[in-house]
Structure 1
Amino acid sequence: MTNTRPVECWLIDMDGVLVHEEDPLPGAAEFIDTLKRHDRPFLVLTNNSIFTPRDLRARLQRADIDVPESAIWTSALATAQFLDDQRPGGTAYVVGEAGLTTALHEIGYTMNDRDPDYVVLGETRTYSFEAITRAIRLIDGGARFIATNPDPSGPSVHGKLPATGSVAALISTATNRQPYYIGKPNSLMMRFALNELQAHSETTMMVGDRMDTDVVAGLEAGLRTILVLSGSTSADRVDDFPYRATEVLDSIEDVIAMVAELAPEG
């Protein structure tokens, strides 16, 4: 790595970096333990808005990866932060699950299906025609359209599942209104994460498995980035992108030694 400035804080994508589905990836638990041992502040990031940080902590624990609840940052939390900054104490019609509704309740939002300030679309495994129709009509009536992330699909043991971006496209086609996406690749999610850590972009590293979300969001937020090849972006596709990660490594196992190597002196 040519840039040898100290790395004080770490942002780490979850799926494809630490776990694949429910299975831990090589070196994931040791990497988190190394961050703790060297007292390096960190956040684990995910675009998935279905689950609360408590749920995700339990999922990681089942994979023998011990991440504190306070060190998990989701697109649902970033969406709630954005709405709280934009319109404190507002109302929303939510198409999503507990991770999103809990985050909105915690910032003082109320759920409203009559005349909400926002329609907020998140990840769910139970999209209903009725809920999507209601969202379309509320947006037509003047509600602002927000989506937690633009991911068009997500993985499952049986193959791809339609995700937030696909359903957002359906609603956009019906309303001729595009949502504002909060999650990666929007660098806003990274900026909120930096604020949460009280960290500076110049001394923070982002580790992700996707060039088109993790790396570009980190780049636009001013972070150094590591792409690991254990997830979505394969080695033969890295050069397809017009931007580069600071470093490309096989897996999070290869990042472990860098925690100490790049730590501030003293």
Structure 2
Amino acid sequence: MKSYRGVFLDLDGTLFKGNEVIPGAVEFVNRLEDEGIPFLYLTNNSSRTPEQVAEKLRGFGYPAEPEQVVTTALAAAAWLKEEMNSPAVYVIGEEGLIRAVEEAGCRIVDEDPEAVVVGLDRQFTYEKMKKACLAIRAGARFIGTNADRALPTEEGFLPGSGSLSMAIAASTGVSPFFIGKPEAVIMRYALKTLGTKAEETLVVGDNLDTDILAGIRGGMDTLLVLTGVSTEEDLEKTDIRPTYVVRQLADWSLQQI
């Protein structure tokens, strides 16, 4: 069994489901901490700040500090700073995205932006869509935090961030540049944050199409846990091949990381 110097952990479906902790997951993360293996929590959710995500995880019993949380908002903001020199930005999103963009030195504007960034926004309106479309048609770069079209909740599947981006894409004819899983952009940001190399980092997640594909695209080994979205039947129907598969993280805890 290969040894790893760092681990990236997905959240929903891997560590918890709704308001319930997945059995064995807290023990798995505690083992990482006890053995001194650095880890980060990776989420496609752009609406929450790292502090809010860490607080939620601590409420479930996980060891979590804000600096251990990587969101699509943070990765998008870093991309704007590095690739566009902190441009003027029109933001469709919530607190997590707005704060990350501001802290990256970008100026948030309503008119004449150089970039339009779209994340989850539960106050999305026609007016916001109109401003985004006009700016993109005028030449603004179109950035989407992630392509998830559905958001799993206790109510059922609600519209995700990707559905808002796709609505804007349908109107403008311009495809967004996505940051979050399964794209490699967020994985490069996470590797830089953790300070490990791709070949020595393990990606743990429950979704073949996001977590596992992101790890593969980022050049990392992957561990699929069958506690969330993807099933054994899905494995038989896809070309996406995780490095390891376990029914739950408790099974992996018996092995040497």
Which TM-score band applies after superposition, normalised by the shorter structure?
A: over 0.9
Following superposition, the deviation at residue 194 of structure 1 comes to: 0.7
Identify which of 79, 86, 95 aligns with 2:83.
86
Following superposition, the deviation at residue 196 of structure 1 comes to: 0.7
Structure 1, unaligned runs of 5 or more: none
Following superposition, the deviation at residue 207 of structure 1 comes to: 0.4
Q: Which TM-score applies when normalising by structure 1? A: 0.94
Q: Does 1:143 align with 2:137?
A: no
Structure 2, unaligned runs of 5 or more: none
Letter in 2 for 1:39: G
Following superposition, the deviation at residue 5 of structure 1 comes to: 2.9
Corresponding position of 1:44: 41
Corresponding position of 1:123: 120
Percent identity of paired positions between Structure 1 and Structure 2: 36
Following superposition, the deviation at residue 103 of structure 1 comes to: 0.7
Following superposition, the deviation at residue 86 of structure 1 comes to: 0.7
Identify which of 16, 21, 26 aligns with 2:23.
26
Corresponding position of 2:208: 211
Mapped partners of 2:191, 2:70: distance in 1: 11
Corresponding position of 1:8: 5
Moved more, 126-135 or 202-211: 126-135
Q: Deviations over 1:108-166 (max 9, x none)?
A: 11101111110100012221121111111111121110000000010122111111111
How many residue pairs were aligned?
A: 257
Mapped partners of 2:19, 2:70: distance in 1: 18
Letter in 2 for 1:63: F
Where 2:82 maps in the other structure, the secondary structure is helix
Identify which of 34, 57, 60 aligns with 2:57.
60
Corresponding position of 2:100: 103
Q: How does 1:169-208 map to 2 (within 5 A)?
A: 169-208=166-205
CA contact (8 A) 1:22 1:59 kept: no
Moved more, 81-90 or 146-155: 81-90
Following superposition, the deviation at residue 215 of structure 1 comes to: 0.7
Following superposition, the deviation at residue 81 of structure 1 comes to: 1.1
CA contact (8 A) 1:32 1:67 kept: no
Corresponding position of 2:154: 157
Following superposition, the deviation at residue 255 of structure 1 comes to: 2.4
Moved more, 131-140 or 249-258: 249-258
Corresponding position of 1:167: 164
Following superposition, the deviation at residue 238 of structure 1 comes to: 1.0
Where 1:31 maps in the other structure, the secondary structure is helix
Mapped partners of 2:137, 2:152: distance in 1: 32
Mapped partners of 2:5, 2:130: distance in 1: 47
Where 1:214 maps in the other structure, the secondary structure is helix
Letter in 2 for 1:17: T
Following superposition, the deviation at residue 61 of structure 1 comes to: 1.6
Where 1:257 maps in the other structure, the secondary structure is coil
Corresponding position of 1:224: 221
Letter in 1 for 2:151: G
Structure 1 ranges of 4+ moved more than 6 A? none
Mapped partners of 2:75, 2:237: distance in 1: 29
Letter in 2 for 1:94: V
Where 2:222 maps in the other structure, the secondary structure is strand
Identify which of 4, 17, 22 aligns with 2:14.
17
